[in-house]
Amino acid sequence: MDKDEYKKLVKEYTPKENKMRNAIIAFLVGGGISFVGQLVASFMQVTFGMEIAESYVWLCILTIFVASFLTALGFFDNFVSKCGCGLIIPTTGFAHSMTSSALDVKKDGLITGLGASFFKLAGSVLLYGILAGFFFSILGVIIYG
Amino acid sequence: MIYVNAFILGGFICLIGELILDNTKLTPGHITSIFTVLGAFLSFLGIYPKLIEWGGAGATMMISNFGNLLYQGGYEGFHSAEILGFASGLLTKVSAAVTMAIVFAFIFAIFFKPKD
């Protein structure tokens, strides 16, 4: 068997990532989370008389709690690898990245493990979010007053 | 119907993310960072608050809302505390999410064992 033949064979047996399927799953999962989230937010507005903005903050906290809890129980890694961006882009992804990195490094101790690596994955969101928010808000004040 | 709008908007944002993830070499870390910055940018353009009005949770549950809230915090901070407000107001609106994410992640990390 020569090189080219071998390459062909490898290509044939490598499992293909089905991009179309991934995209549909991401759409349905992300949409489903938003749909359920909206139900919860509207429920809180009606039942507890919350303002709209307040209900979204509570919703965010609830989402973070559920995602962190499921991550700690060990279910969530599996879900994330199946649903891709459907779970990564919502706040669930943020909570998942924090909890999973915290779980991974806790064996290294409270300071050198948890303290040093707590924000390993979520750190980039915080860093670039804060930078962008800072400079855009200055730009916003300059332009809009 | 805000429920249907939420489904469409939330699904659409995740769909864009998945398309980027599958067709480029960017990792999930890149994508969440890009979406956060994009959220701040859309907020700067005045688009993000309209998305929230239209799609409700479809916009507020996404990581891009993190950028939106940071921008709003900085912008409103300036109007209540002038120049200092950029710094003192920036994190006010994301405080709840970040604080609770830290608290939950820490508590669960202490009480649960990593699964491998």
Place of tokens 């559920």: A66
Which residue among B37, B44, B109 places its CB closest to the CB of A102?
A: B109
CB contact under 8 A, A34 and B109: no
The CA distance from A77 to the nearest CA of chain B, in Å, is: 10
In a domain, B116, yes or no: no
Tokens for B44, please give them. 């700067």
The CA distance from A128 to the nearest CA of chain B, in Å, is: 6
In a domain, B15, yes or no: yes
In a domain, B96, yes or no: yes
- Which of helix, strand or coil describes residue B98? helix
In a domain, B69, yes or no: yes
Tokens for B30, please give them. 């890149």
Q: Does A104 touch chain B (CB under 8 A)?
A: yes
Average pLDDT of chain A is: 90
Q: Does B73 touch chain A (CB under 8 A)?
A: yes
Which pLDDT band holds residue A6 (cuts at 50, 70, 90)?
confident
Q: Does A116 touch chain B (CB under 8 A)?
A: no
The CA distance from B115 to the nearest CA of chain A, in Å, is: 6
Which pLDDT band holds residue A75 (cuts at 50, 70, 90)?
confident
- Could you report the per-residue pLDDT of B2-52, keeping only the tens digit for each? 999 999 999 999 999 999 999 999 999 999 999 999 999 999 999 999 999
Nearest Cα to Cα of residue A87 among A20, A124, A37 = A37
Which pLDDT band holds residue A15 (cuts at 50, 70, 90)?
low
Domain residue ranges of chain A, discontinuous segments joined by +: 3-144
pLDDT on residue A8: 81
Helix extents (H) in chain B: 2-23, 28-44, 48-55, 57-60, 64-89, 95-111
Q: Does B42 touch chain A (CB under 8 A)?
A: no
Tokens for A112, please give them. 């050198």
In a domain, B56, yes or no: yes
Q: Does B1 touch chain A (CB under 8 A)?
A: no
CB contact under 8 A, B97 and A136: no
Q: Does A79 touch chain B (CB under 8 A)?
A: no
Total tally of structural domains belonging to chain B: 1
pLDDT surpassing 80 at residue A69? yes
- Could you report the per-residue pLDDT of A93-137, keeping only the tens digit for each? 999 999 999 998 988 888 998 888 888 889 999 999 999 999 999
Residues A82, A86, A88, A90, CA torsion sign = negative
CB contact under 8 A, B37 and A34: no
In a domain, B22, yes or no: yes
pTM: 0.89
The percentage of chain A sitting over the pLDDT mark of 70, rounded to a whole number, equals 97
User: Rounded to the nearest 10 degrees, what angle do helices B2-23 and B28-44 cross at?
Assistant: 130
d(CA A59, CA A53): 10
The parent domain of residue B50 ranges over 2-111
- Could you report the per-residue pLDDT of B39-97, keeping only the tens digit for each? 999 999 999 999 999 999 999 999 999 999 999 999 999 999 989 999 999 999 999 99
CB contact under 8 A, A71 and B14: no
